[in-house]
Amino acid sequence: MNKKQILLELQSFGARLDVPVEEHGRCGGAGPSDDKAFMLDGVAAMVPTLGDFAQESPYAVISDDDGKYSITSNGRNVMPVEFVSTPKFYGLKTKNGIPYRQIAVLHGLDVLATTVSQRCIRWRREGERCHFCAIENSLESGATISLKTPEQLAEVAEAAVRLDGVKHMIMTTGTMNYHDMGVNYLIDCTRAIKAIVPDLGIQVQFEPPENLEDMELLYEAGAEAVGIHLESFSQDTRERITPGKAKISIERYFEAFKKAVDIFGRNQVSTYIIVGFGDSEESIVEGCRQIAELGVYPFVVPLRPLMGTPLENVSAPDPQFMERIYRRVAKNNREYDLAYRKSKAGCARCGACSGITAFE
Ligand code: SF4
C-alpha cells in the first residue's frame, strides 16, 4: 500500500492510540474536530482518534522501546509517525487566570486556531443546527471560554509566535447574529492581533454577511484570507445537514465568493466541501470546478463523524471515493492555477484536514 492510500485511509477510518502520545489533539468544537495531528514524513495530517469508528479502525499507533512511534494496519507495521510536541504557550495563563489553551490551540504543525465565539445562534435553535458540528460541546466540557476578546487573542497570538514559531492563524466562529454574522467583531479581533504580531498571516471564517462590503473592512484590518464554507453544492443536502445555513442560498454564497475574491485575491478565499453526505462525485467535482474558476480554493475534506453530534454513527466516506474526488479536483485546481501552497493563511495553507495536498 502506498503512502497516499495510507493517508486517505487514516483520514477516513481514523486510528486507535494503543500507547499514550503527546497531548495535542482536539475534542469537540466547530467543524471537523476530535482529531490529532499525525506527522507523516514531515507533513501534518489530522486523523480521528476519539470516535467509536476510530476504535474499530484497522490502524493503530504503537511505540518501540526507544519511544519511537509507528502506525500499524491490522497489526502490521506500515510507517513511522511523529507527534507535534505540546506547545509551550499551553503553559501560560492570562492575568485573570484563563489558560491560553482555552483561548486558542495549535492545529497541524504551525497554525494557531481559535473559535472566537463558541456559541452559535444556529446551534440552539430548533431545526437550524449543522448536523456535523459540536461547537458548544467543548464549552460544556470546560475546554474553552464562550467569547474570546480581541485583547486575549492578541496576547495568545504573540506568545504562540514567540514561543512556538506559529506561522499563521485561523479565526473561525459560531454565527454570532443574523446580520453581519459576527464579521465586525472578527474585524476588531484581527486589528488587535495585527497591532501586536503584524507578520502573522490571518484567515477569518464566517457565513456571508448581510452587507458584503464588511469584508473590505476585514481586509483593511489586515486579514490575508477568508473561508466562507458552503459544505455541499446540493441544496437538498444543505437543507438536510445544515438547515439553518441552507436559508442562505447557494447563489448568495457565489455572490459572496466573487466579492471576496475581488477583495482578497484568487486562492485567498476558500470553502470547505465535505464529502460523505451522499452527494455524487459529479456534483462535488463540478461544483468545485465552478468555484475554482472564480478563484475560490475548494477545501475538500472527508466527513468526520463527531461524538455528540447527530452524525456520530455515520460512516466516513470510502477512501477510494475520496481519492477519485481529490484527483479530479486537484486537476481542475491546476487548470485554474490554484494550489494550497499559494494560500497565505488558513485551512487551505495548513491542509492537514484534507488529503488533496497529496494530489496537487
Ligand atoms: S486544515 Fe484547518 S481545521 Fe484542519 S488542522 Fe489545519 S487549520 Fe485546523
Task: Specify the pLDDT at position 31.
Answer: 43
**Position 86, amino acid:** T
Does the beta carbon of 46 sit less than 6 angstroms from any atom of ligand 1? yes
Angle between the N-to-C axes of helices 150-164 and 183-196, in degrees from 0 to 180, rounded to the nearest 10 = 40
Does the beta carbon of 108 sit less than 6 angstroms from any atom of ligand 1? yes
Neighbours of 73 (CB within 10 A): 18
Does the beta carbon of 170 sit less than 6 angstroms from any atom of ligand 1? yes
**What spacing in Å lies between the alpha carbon of 83 and ligand 1's midpoint?**
15
**What is the mean predicted confidence (pLDDT) over 167-171?**
98
pLDDT score of 22 more than 80: no
Whether 132 and 264 share a structural domain: yes
Whether 30 and 133 share a structural domain: no
> What does the H/E/C string look like for the chain?
CCHHHHHHHHHHHCCEECCCCCCCECCCECCCCCEEEEEECCEEEEEECCCHHHHCCCEEEEECCCCCEEEEECCEEEEEEEECCCCHHHHCECCCCCEHHHCCEEECCCEEEEECECCCHHHHCCCCCCCCCECCHHHHCCCCCCECCHHHHHHHHHHHHHHHCCCEEEEECCCCCCCCCCHHHHHHHHHHHHHHCCCCEEEEECCCCCCCCHHHHHHHHCCCEEECCCECCCHHHHHHHCCCHHHCCHHHHHHHHHHHHHHHCCCCEEEEEEECCCCCHHHHHHHHHHHHHHCEEEEEEECCCCCCCCCCCCCCCCHHHHHHHHHHHHHHHHHCCCCHHHCCCCHHHHCCCCCHHHCC
**What is the mean predicted confidence (pLDDT) over 144-172?**
97
Whether 212 and 352 share a structural domain: yes
pLDDT score of 25 more than 60: no
Whether 281 and 149 share a structural domain: yes
Instruction: Give residue-wise pLDDT tens across range 315-333.
Output: 889 999 999 999 999 999 9
Ligand 1 atom 4, closest CA? 353
**What spacing in Å lies between the alpha carbon of 352 and ligand 1's midpoint?**
6
State the closest ligand 1 atom to the C-alpha of 35, by its place in the atom list counted from 1.
5
Whether 218 and 246 share a structural domain: yes
pLDDT score of 27 more than 60: no
Task: Specify the pLDDT at position 32.
Answer: 44
pTM: 0.94
**What spacing in Å lies between the alpha carbon of 351 and ligand 1's midpoint?**
6
Distances 39 to 24, 36, 169, 302 between C-alpha atoms, Å: 12, 10, 19, 19
Out of 32, 49, 83, a domain closes at 83
**What is the mean predicted confidence (pLDDT) over 68-87?**
94
Looking at residue 142, which CATH number applies to its domain? 3.20.20.70
Task: Specify the pLDDT at position 23.
Answer: 59
Q: How confident is the model at residue 35 (pLDDT cuts 50, 70, 90)?
A: confident
Tell me the Cα Rg of the chain: 19
Does the beta carbon of 113 sit less than 6 angstroms from any atom of ligand 1? yes
Whether 10 and 47 have beta carbons less than 8 Å apart is answered as yes
Does the beta carbon of 350 sit less than 6 angstroms from any atom of ligand 1? yes
**What spacing in Å lies between the alpha carbon of 31 and ligand 1's midpoint?**
10
Instruction: Give residue-wise pLDDT tens across range 238-283.
Output: 999 999 999 999 999 999 999 999 999 999 999 999 999 999 999 9
In percent, the amount of the chain with pLDDT more than 70 equals 96
Average pLDDT, the chain: 93
Task: Specify the pLDDT at position 34.
Answer: 65
Q: Give CA–CA dist 85/110, Å, rounded.
A: 11
Whether 307 and 351 share a structural domain: yes
Out of 31, 49, 83, a domain closes at 83
Out of 65, 83, 101, a domain closes at 83
Burial class (CB in 10 A: 0-12, 13-18, 19+), 149: middle
Whether 101 and 69 share a structural domain: no
pLDDT score of 29 more than 50: no
Task: Specify the pLDDT at position 174.
Answer: 96
**What spacing in Å lies between the alpha carbon of 327 and ligand 1's midpoint?**
20
**Position 337, amino acid:** D
Please state the domain count of the chain: 2
Instruction: Give residue-wise pLDDT tens across range 112-135.
Output: 999 999 999 999 898 999 999 989
Q: Which three cell numbers stand for residue 120?
A: 452559535
Whether 75 and 95 share a structural domain: no
Does the beta carbon of 353 sit less than 6 angstroms from any atom of ligand 1? yes
pLDDT score of 183 more than 70: yes
Whether 267 and 333 share a structural domain: yes
Does the beta carbon of 221 sit less than 6 angstroms from any atom of ligand 1? no
State the closest ligand 1 atom to the C-alpha of 299, by its place in the atom list counted from 1.
1
Whether 240 and 338 share a structural domain: yes
Whether 43 and 98 share a structural domain: no
Tell me the β-bridge partners of 60: 16, 72
Instruction: Give residue-wise pLDDT tens across range 221-239.
Output: 999 999 999 999 999 999 9
**What is the mean predicted confidence (pLDDT) over 149-174?**
98
pLDDT score of 105 more than 90: yes
Residue 128 phi, psi dihedral angles, 5° rounding: -115, -20
Task: Specify the pLDDT at position 140.
Answer: 83
- Find the domain containing 8 and state its range: 3-83
